[in-house]
């Protein structure tokens, strides 16, 4: 894996990690203002695409959004998230997919497209 791709993965993992912290610190409020909107959803989706993941986002029913990230459309998703907002679902799914790589349940090299 290239150093640049590895660095980007670490940065991509830091953003959803900061979003998961439940506190009202001003620095974390900035991260929420940056990513809790459609533009933030696009930033996360783009970052995950660069890591070899495809996003599937569905408004399952009123008030429930579901997102999955998968590296191969023929296999099950590496990351799943559900939330009241589309960006919340994408953030959860990205966290789960990146945690799968970090925990070793999926290999990063296998998820990078040729």
Give the Cα separation of 11 and 18 in Å (integer).
Answer: 11
Number of domains, the chain: 1
pTM: 0.78
Of 95, 103, 102, 2, the closest CA to residue 47 belongs to: 95
Q: Which domain holds residue 14?
A: 3-111
Q: How far apart are the first and last CA of the chain?
A: 11
pLDDT digits (tens, 9 = 90+) for 59-108: 989 999 999 999 887 778 899 999 999 999 999 999 999 888 766 555 44
* Residue 12 burial (CB count, 10 A): 21
The pLDDT assigned to 113 comes to 38
Mean pLDDT estimate for the chain: 82
Q: Which strands sit side by side in the sheet containing 64-70, from one edge to the other?
A: 54-61, 64-70, 79-83
Lowest mean pLDDT of 5-9, 40-44, 63-67, 88-92, name the range: 5-9
For residues 90 and 42, is the Cβ–Cβ distance under 8 A? Answer: no
């Amino acid at each position: 894996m290239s150093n640049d791709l590895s660095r980007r993965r670490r940065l991509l993992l830091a953003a959803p990690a900061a979003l998961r912290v439940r506190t009202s610190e001003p620095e974390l409020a900035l991260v929420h203002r940056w990513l809790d909107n459609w533009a933030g959803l696009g930033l996360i989706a783009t970052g995950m695409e660069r890591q070899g993941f495809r996003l599937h986002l569905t408004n399952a029913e009123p008030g429930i959004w579901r997102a999955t990230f998968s590296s191969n459309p023929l296999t099950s998703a590496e990351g799943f998230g559900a939330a009241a907002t589309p960006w919340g679902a994408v953030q959860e799914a990205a966290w789960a997919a990146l945690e799968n790589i970090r925990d070793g349940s999926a290999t990063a090299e296998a998820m990078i497209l040729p």
